[in-house]
């Protein structure tokens, strides 16, 4: 059964609208610190709160097989509403650090019913060309990731409360679109009951393990690179005082161009193969990790920016393809659970990677620390290259 041509654009639009909740706090971080009298240490806690909430949420959703037992569109809608409400809670004038952290944590929890569930919905509608479909979907998330860097500039024009209200309104709109306009997909298999063993069961499939470990290696690098893009730009500017950077704008462009890379990799996967394109993208991003320290010392600003733009493309180009490989190599009745588990572990890895690189940079004050990011891609490439009768196909 061929899905309506409008299904994919609606899923992509809904995903972008709802994942804006994820990064709204980052865009108004300075205003939150000033308004509520928070100390500088609170910035890191506020950033981690959403990530931790998302990890806990994906764990709960996976263990209870929520997106396989219930209509994914309804789950998406409910989580969009609750996420929007708790995101809005940050504007309450009686807030302190504890309450703001709680609101951001719970917002992250409900994002577990948005991002992986959106991929599950796409997988239920698009059996053929899933890589292309998820390319658009992850591309929307990438643009959402880059958006806070623009929001930092917008807060000079609009109040920080207006920014949070707008993102909550977008989430409600996106959830409503998904509920009304996107029915259950023709390839959906209804999960009949809670399978508490599903979290471990999916890893018994060697093909799933290969795809999952490739994804975990990719995640070790991805969010840490995104988090340190502004720091990389500032480090280069310190080494070359004559250089003038608009750090927020360049950060938006370097991260945001990854959205285009996701779409391109999705189309390439149709002709070259999902696994091959994912492998090449992961290899290229690994090379970028290893050579990055050498780029800080060279005097050409254009070359440095071009390198970061290229890295910004290859670091995310494999993401929709790994999700495609996981969906294709997991049992249909637990496909949603498999994608949720993938996100749960993947985002837990990002916290370890970010904290470790941050500590290493503080201890060494050296740009050579970025070579640490290559560890994940190297292990991911080894997992994907494994041979055998049950080796990964795609």
d(CA 123, CA 327): 7
Q: Count each helix (H run) and each strand (E run) in the chain, helices first.
A: 17, 0
DSSP 27-60: HTHHHHHHHTT--THHHHHHHHHHHHHHHHHHHH
Give the C-alpha distances (Å, rounded to integers) separating 21 from 16, 55, 109, 177, 225.
Answer: 9, 15, 11, 16, 21
Q: Which residue in this structure is represented by tokens 């024009």?
A: 157
Sign of torsion over alpha carbons 121, 127, 130, 136: negative
314-344 tens-digit pLDDT:
999 999 999 888 878 777 667 777 777 888 8
83-134 tens-digit pLDDT:
999 999 999 988 988 999 999 999 999 999 998 888 888 888 887 767 788 8
Domains of the chain: 7-199 (1.20.1250.20), 202-384 (1.20.1250.20)
Residue 62 has pLDDT above 90, yes or no: no
186-206 tens-digit pLDDT:
777 665 555 555 556 667 777
pTM: 0.81
Winning range, highest mean pLDDT, from 65-69, 296-300, 310-314, 335-339 = 310-314
Mean pLDDT along residues 357-378 = 91
**CA-based max dimension of the chain:** 64
Assigned token pair, 26: 């980052």
d(CA 30, CA 33): 5
Assigned token pair, 150: 């623009």
pLDDT at residue number 394 = 59
pLDDT at residue number 195 = 57
The mean of the pLDDT values for the chain is 85
First to last CA, the chain: 22
What percentage of the chain has pLDDT greater than the value 90? 40
Give the C-alpha distances (Å, rounded to integers) separating 171 from 15, 20, 211.
Answer: 9, 7, 31
Residue 295 has pLDDT above 60, yes or no: yes
Residue 172 has pLDDT above 70, yes or no: yes
């Amino acid at each position: 059964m061929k899905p309506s041509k409008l299904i994919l654009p609606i899923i992509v639009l809904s995903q972008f609208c709802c994942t804006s909740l994820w990064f709204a706090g980052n865009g108004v971080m300075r205003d939150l610190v000033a308004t509520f009298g928070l100390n500088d240490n609170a910035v890191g806690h506020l950033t981690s709160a959403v990530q931790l909430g998302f990890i806990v949420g994906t764990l709960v959703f996976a263990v209870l097989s929520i997106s396989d037992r219930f209509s994914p569109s309804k789950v998406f809608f409910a989580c969009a509403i609750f996420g929007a409400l708790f995101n809005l809670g940050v504007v309450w004038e009686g807030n302190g650090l504890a309450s703001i952290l709680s609101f951001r944590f719970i917002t992250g929890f409900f994002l577990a019913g948005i991002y992986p569930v959106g991929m599950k919905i796409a997988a239920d509608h698009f059996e053929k060309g899933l890589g292309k479909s998820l390319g658009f979907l992850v591309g929307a998330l990438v643009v959402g990731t880059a958006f806070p860097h623009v929001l930092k500039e917008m807060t000079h024009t609009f109040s920080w409360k207006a920014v949070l209200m707008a993102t909550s309104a977008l989430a409600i709109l996106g959830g409503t679109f998904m509920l009304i306009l996107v029915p259950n997909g023709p390839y959906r298999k209804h999960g009949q009951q809670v399978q508490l063993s599903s979290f471990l069961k999916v890893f018994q499939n060697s093909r799933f393990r290969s795809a999952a470990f490739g994804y975990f290696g990719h995640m070790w690098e991805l969010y840490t690179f995104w988090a340190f893009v502004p720091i990389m730009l500032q480090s280069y500017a310190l080494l070359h005082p004559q250089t003038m950077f608009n750090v927020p704008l360049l950060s938006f462009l370097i991260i945001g161009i990854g959205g285009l890379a996701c779409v391109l990799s999705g189309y390439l996967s149709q002709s070259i193969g999902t696994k091959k394109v994912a492998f090449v993208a992961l290899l290229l991003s690994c090379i970028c990790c290893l050579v990055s320290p050498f780029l800080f010392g060279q005097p050409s600003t254009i070359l440095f920016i071009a390198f970061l733009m290229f890295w910004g493309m290859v670091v995310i180009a494999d993401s929709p393809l790994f999700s495609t490989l996981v969906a294709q190599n997991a049992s249909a009745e637990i496909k949603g659970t498999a994608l949720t588990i993938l996100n749960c572990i993947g985002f837990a890895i990002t916290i370890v990677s970010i904290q470790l690189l941050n500590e290493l940079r503080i201890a060494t004050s050296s740009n050579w620390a970025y070579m640490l990011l290559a560890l994940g891609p190297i292990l991911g490439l080894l997992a994907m290259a494994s041979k055998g009768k049950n080796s990964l196909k795609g």
